[in-house]
Amino acid sequence: MKIGYIRVSTTDQNTMRQEVLLKELGVDEVFIDKASGKNTDRPELKRMLTYVRQGDTVIVESISRFARNTRDLLELIAQLAEKEVEFISKKESIDTSTPTGKFMLTIFGAVAELEREYILQRQHEGIAIAKEMGKYKGRKPICHPEFDKIVAKWKAGSMTAAEAMRRLDMKPSTFYRKVRGSNR
């Protein structure tokens, strides 16, 4: 079987370009993630890795859609190889069924990782410039008008931490950080 994997970085991005390409390539099954490629903790990627069988071929539009760092890329390819599944990246014309394809995969993986590092560097530089110009102030702090009252009840033992978090609509990490006095 030909298995397609598609990834875009955010839920706002459109997958149609990748879907059309994979349909043209005769893919039988498609797995789509709308998540960052910074690591392999993606639900559809995991599902696809479980789904593939010996003799299948995983096809992606480009390596950057599959993995953003060389280590993750090589680990994913190793997982596929263990199952005797081939990997094809259309944009880079990489086919792991050939020695040249395996070599080129490593090179392009390193390039994808470098690209991600450049993106992060530009992002940090842009934020720093925006802060200097007073246009970026960071994320707005979470502020609940009843925070002090609810925390007092929690500290007095008349309310559980779970109930306090529910009433404040806060995750545990945010709740405890604010209780300690950070970002208040």
Name the strand (E) or helix (H) holding 88: strand 86-89
Strand-pair partners of 34 = 8
* Catalytic one of 9, 62, 93, 173: 9
Query: Other C-beta atoms within 10 Å of 10: how many?
Result: 8
Q: Using CB atoms within 10 A of its CB, is residue 140 exposed (0-12), middle (13-18) or buried (19+)?
A: exposed
With beta carbons less than 8 A apart as the criterion, state whether 179 and 173 touch. no
Alpha carbon distance 99, 158 (integer Å): 67
Residue listed under structure tokens 């993606």: 42
Alpha carbon distance 155, 64 (integer Å): 49
Phi, psi of 56, deg, nearest 5: -75, 165
Our answer to whether residue 9 is catalytic in this structure is: yes
Strand, helix or coil for residue 65:
helix
| Catalytic (active-site) positions | 9
